[in-house]
Amino acid sequence: MNWFQRMMIGRYGLDQLSKAMLILTFILLIISLITGLDIINALAVIVLALAYIRILSRDTNKRHQENMKFLQWLNPISIKVNRNLNRLKEHKTYRFYKCTECGQQLRVPKGKGKVKITCPKCKNSIIKRT
Ligand SMILES: [Zn+2]
């Protein structure tokens, strides 16, 4: 075993929350470089220190609970991000309209010329060129 493996015995190690904190540290450091604000630099150091405290912690139960809470908090955000990424991909092949009556989002394939789109929600139809 090397010194690193010996040091990590019984310690919690890296999880998603610590990884996110390390990424946040990196982002904060870049912001502090751009803005020259010491407070952001200090914040980056604090977040980095907290990440290391978590990684080297021996209270693995508590750290695991923290990580679970973080993942629960992150879940709705990642669903939203994924939905937006999908929409971005679909923009190549689809055109999006909003129903003039109820605001429902309508998706039509691109390049079909003039089409009548019927809203699935309120049956209102609009004519659009795609
Ligand atoms: Zn509608």
73 shares a domain with 15: yes
pLDDT one-digit tens code per residue, 116-129: 999 999 999 999 88
DSSP-derived pairing of the beta strands 114-118 and 94-98 = unpaired
98 plus 86 within the same structural domain = no
Structural domain range at position 62: 3-90
User: Do 70 and 113 have their domain in common?
Assistant: no
Same domain, 65 and 33: yes
- Compute, in angstroms, the gap from residue 104 CA to the centroid of ligand 1: 5
**Residues of the chain below pLDDT 70:** none
State the distance from the centre of ligand 1 to the C-alpha of 92, rounded, in angstroms: 24
Rounded to whole angstroms, the Cα distance separating 76 from 73 reads: 7
User: Into how many domains does the chain fold?
Assistant: 2
List pLDDT tens digits, range 19-32: 999 999 999 999 99
Does one domain contain both 30 and 70? yes
CA–centroid distance, residue 82 to ligand 1 (Å): 25
**Phi, psi for residue 119 in degrees, rounded to 5:** -70, 130
